[in-house]
Amino acid sequence: MNIVILTAAAVLLIVAFITDVSKQIIPNRLTIFFFGAGVLFHLIAGGIHDGAAAVAGAAAGFVPLLLLHLAKGIGAGDVKLFGALGAWIGVGAVLQLLLYSILYAGLIGVVIAVIYRSFSGKMTVEMTALLLPGDEPKKRQWLRFADSGKKFPFMLAVLPAAVTVRIMLG
């Protein structure tokens, strides 16, 4: 993959990961900027053909996740994120990323289900809070999140999926 494309995708994923994990939101301005920049980059670098491929990549990332969003499976920010990523990395890579993200999310879901089914689950949450670096407010925030029953941020599955796809694509 081109170094510009790889760098843009990495920056988008890192910023989205940070905001999703810390604030449980992926900002529209982030995804809109990267979508537009991806399409513009491909138009300039390869003409109308590459620009159209960028739009197709965006659609390939956006449409399947829109269906998941409508089924209340993920947030709208994740949908837009995959659209922006698709504009940069193309149809094949974004579909692979989607597949691995869903697989990692399923694995994380199983782990969470096992942890929260028993007393050992409660102990795991408490021990994680004790071991977390940082001050007490961060630890209390983790405990509130763990006890709230909220869904985990999808970016916890997307980031390892992106690493997996990068390794596979070489």
**What pLDDT, on a 0 to 100 scale, did the predictor assign at position 48?**
97
For the segment 57-86, the average pLDDT, to the nearest whole number, is 94
**What pLDDT, on a 0 to 100 scale, did the predictor assign at position 150?**
52
**What pLDDT, on a 0 to 100 scale, did the predictor assign at position 53?**
97
Angle between helices 76-115 and 155-169 (to 10 degrees): 100
Distance of alpha carbon 87 from alpha carbon 72, whole angstroms: 24
**What pLDDT, on a 0 to 100 scale, did the predictor assign at position 96?**
96
Q: Which residues of 12-23 are buried (b: 16+ CB within 10 A; e: fewer)?
A: bbeebbebbeee
**What pLDDT, on a 0 to 100 scale, did the predictor assign at position 21?**
86
Distance of alpha carbon 115 from alpha carbon 98, whole angstroms: 25
**What pLDDT, on a 0 to 100 scale, did the predictor assign at position 29?**
97
Q: Note the pLDDT tens digit of each residue in 93-129.
A: 999 999 999 999 989 877 777 666 655 556 555 656 5
Q: Note the pLDDT tens digit of each residue in 16-56.
A: 999 998 888 999 999 999 999 999 999 999 999 999 999 99
State which amino acid sits at residue 142: W
User: What confidence tier does 131 reach under pLDDT thresholds 50, 70, 90?
Assistant: low
pLDDT above 80: residue 144: no
**What pLDDT, on a 0 to 100 scale, did the predictor assign at position 161?**
95
Query: What pTM, to 2 d.p., does this model score?
Result: 0.79
Lookup result for tokens 């900027």: 33
Q: Note the pLDDT tens digit of each residue in 147-169.
A: 555 567 889 999 999 999 999 88
Instruction: Give one word for 75, left, alpha or beta, with left for phi > 0 and alpha for psi -120 to 50.
Output: beta
pLDDT above 70: residue 89: yes
Yes or no: say if 6 and 38 are a contact pair by the CB < 8 Å rule. no
CA 161 to chain centre: 9
Yes or no: say if 162 and 97 are a contact pair by the CB < 8 Å rule. yes
Distance of alpha carbon 121 from alpha carbon 111, whole angstroms: 10
**What pLDDT, on a 0 to 100 scale, did the predictor assign at position 19?**
92
